[in-house]
């Protein structure tokens, strides 16, 4: 199984980098992990709604370019987009989702995390599944660590 985390922006905080490194070290028995970062846009203070949409569109184009190299989706990839409007799963339910995908022949799962303003409509539409981590808002950089911990936990749950 291959797991890709496709995200906007680079990690800035050392404690987040350390956490990512720790979970990345734990993944090899379960899956090959890849993290792909695309550049984020600077968001001006007091930006208009129209300006925010343009920022999401710019970041979305970068995400789609990384998601669809040469304009084509990896046919084996299942795309899970993180969005507050998505389905809220428990840790065991996420484990079951990953197991079901693997049993169905999926060899590559791509998790997509947007920037501080969220994701463009085009990226949301490209997803095979929308996943929510609840109604709370998390910084997108912290979300990367939370997601990786939950992926690791899902594999541990599946292995008993």
- Which structure tokens are listed for 100? 């079901």
Query: Residue 71 has what pLDDT?
Result: 57
Query: Residue 129 has what pLDDT?
Result: 97
Is the distance from CB of 16 to CB of 147 less than 8 angstroms? no
Q: Tell me the C-alpha distance between 62 and 92, whole Å.
A: 32
Query: Residue 40 has what pLDDT?
Result: 92
Query: Residue 74 has what pLDDT?
Result: 66
Q: Who contacts 98 (Cβ-Cβ below 8 Å, separation ≥6)?
A: 1, 109, 151, 154, 155, 158
Query: Residue 45 has what pLDDT?
Result: 83
* Residue 7 DSSP class: E
pLDDT tens digits for the chain (160 residues)? Answer: 999 999 999 999 999 999 999 999 999 999 999 999 999 988 888 888 898 899 999 999 999 999 876 555 667 799 999 999 999 999 999 999 999 999 999 999 999 999 989 999 999 999 999 999 998 888 889 999 999 999 999 999 999 8
* CA atoms 133, 73, 10, 148: torsion sign: positive
Query: Residue 70 has what pLDDT?
Result: 58
């Amino acid at each position: 199984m291959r797991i890709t985390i496709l995200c906007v922006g680079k990690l800035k905080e050392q404690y987040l980098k350390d956490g990512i490194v720790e979970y990345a070290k734990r993944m090899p028995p379960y899956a090959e992990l890849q993290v792909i970062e695309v550049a984020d846009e600077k968001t001006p203070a007091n930006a208009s709604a129209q300006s925010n949409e343009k920022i999401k569109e710019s970041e979305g184009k970068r995400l789609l370019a990384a998601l669809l190299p040469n304009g084509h989706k990896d046919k084996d990839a299942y795309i899970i987009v993180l969005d507050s409007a998505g389905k809220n799963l428990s840790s065991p339910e996420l484990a079951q989702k990953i197991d079901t995908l693997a049993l169905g022949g999926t060899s590559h799962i791509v998790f997509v995390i947007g920037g501080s303003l969220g994701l463009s409509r085009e990226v949301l539409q490209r997803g095979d599944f929308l996943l929510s981590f609840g109604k709370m808002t998390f910084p997108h950089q912290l979300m990367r660590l939370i997601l990786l911990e939950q992926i690791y936990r899902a594999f541990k749950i599946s292995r008993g």
